Amino acid sequence: MVLDSLILQSKLFFTEDMGIEIEDIVRKEKSAELNLKSHTAMIGVGGELNMMVVISFDTPMLNKLVEVFMEGEDVAPEEEEEIKESVTGEVINTIIGLSIPTFPKRGKGVTITPPISINDASNIKKHKDSKIVSANIKTHYGELSISAIIAKDVLK
């Protein structure tokens, strides 16, 4: 159910707000690890849910998002990395914010952490008492993945 919410809100955000058409979505219900793309952000979701949500972008996809967020304004090379991190954080914040009302119990009792950027890791492995669910979303500009690492006590 959580993955369904994340996929739905991602689709709505990218198509309606960003003007980026979704070409394909491939779900992975049980993975042992996440293979991260070039730019990644994550948010902890606590309270009634206990999980980590991770969004990871191909460079061309993130470049398109930066272009949309900056409304075509040029980005100085020395500001590029900081702006990319801001955009990844804003995208994951938006998707989580839109998803919360569709989480179990309509998101009541859910807390979220500020987004964290991870750009040097290549993968994240699950703990034995957790589950990784994810979806790869393909667009004309590249791919992104959105995943949830869910604690065992949420798997009931």
Contact 150, 2 (CB under 8 A): yes
**Nearest alpha-carbon partner for 57 in 103, 90, 33:** 90
**Secondary structure percentages of the chain, helix, strand, coil, to 5:** 40, 35, 25
Give residue-wise pLDDT tens across range 93-134. Answer: 999 989 888 876 776 778 888 898 887 656 676 666 788 889
CB-based contacts of 122, cutoff 8 Å, min separation 6: 35, 36
**Nearest alpha-carbon partner for 152 in 132, 133, 130:** 130
9: confidence class by pLDDT, cuts 50, 70, 90: very high
Q: Which domains does the chain have, with CATH numbers?
A: 2-154 (3.40.1550.10)
Q: At what angle do helices 80-99 and 2-12 cross, to 10 degrees?
A: 120
**So what's the pLDDT on residue 120?**
65
Contact 154, 50 (CB under 8 A): yes
**So what's the pLDDT on residue 101?**
86
Give residue-wise pLDDT tens across range 31-69. Answer: 767 778 889 999 998 877 788 899 999 999 999 999 999
DSSP 119: -
**Nearest alpha-carbon partner for 121 in 45, 42, 44:** 42
Helix residue ranges per DSSP H, the chain: 2-12, 59-69, 80-99
Judged against a pLDDT cut of 60, whether residue 155 lies above it is answered with no
